[in-house]
Amino acid sequence: MSTEIVLRGRDDEWLVDPFSDGLVVDQLALAGQWLDGWKETSRQGNAFARALKDAVLAQMDAQAKWTFHEGGWLFEGASPASGTLVWDLSELEKLLTCDPPLPQERYDEMVVATVSHKVKANEANRIASANPEWKRIIDQARGRRKATRDVQVRWERGAR
């Protein structure tokens, strides 16, 4: 059993398919076909956009340059070295019991107690430079969370 429902947009305007020669989508069956087709088109478009961005990032990495100006377009990407430092606090705590032990006050200057611990990288580097055992432990505790890399593309002002 079919119910005749006529679809209209806001302000009662007709909904016209922007990818056709003026096809008015005014019935549920047409809306279903369009939305199902758009879902697949979006999936394919997103996959292609990701492939394009990966190709641009590969060129940026190969040239060790993460900003390009080309044909009026500005391409900006993140360096593969970007990311967030992560610290293994249980490893850093070994500084307090190694030989020689790091004084508690120095440890407290490096590891700031908040809701979670945050390690001050510059203080960790200073402490590491003072003793080879401390350096070994700090190097073991230090890691890097890989950044999500993307490319931003925008038209540059005045380019035309």
- Please provide the average confidence, as pLDDT, over all residues in the chain: 85
Give how far the C-alpha of residue 88 lies from the chain's centroid of Cα atoms, to the nearest Å.
23
Q: What is the pLDDT of residue 1?
A: 44
What pTM, to 2 d.p., does this model score?
Answer: 0.48
Can you give the residue ranges of every domain in the chain?
A: 1-64, 66-160
Q: How confident is the model at residue 149 (pLDDT cuts 50, 70, 90)?
A: confident
Residue 142: strand pairing partners? 87
Omega of the bond prior to 100 within 30 degrees of 0, cis?
yes
Out of 70-79, 82-91, 146-155, least confident range: 146-155
Please compute the mean of the pLDDT values over residues 37-64 and round it to a whole number. Answer: 91
For the chain, the C-alpha Rg in angstroms (whole number) is 28
Residue 113 has pLDDT above 70, yes or no: yes
Long-range contacts of 98-104 (CB under 8 A, 24+ apart): 98/133, 98/134, 98/137, 99/133, 100/131, 100/133, 102/127, 102/131, 102/134
* Of 138, 116, 112, residue with least CA distance to 127: 138
Residue 104 has pLDDT above 90, yes or no: yes
Residue 134 has pLDDT above 90, yes or no: yes
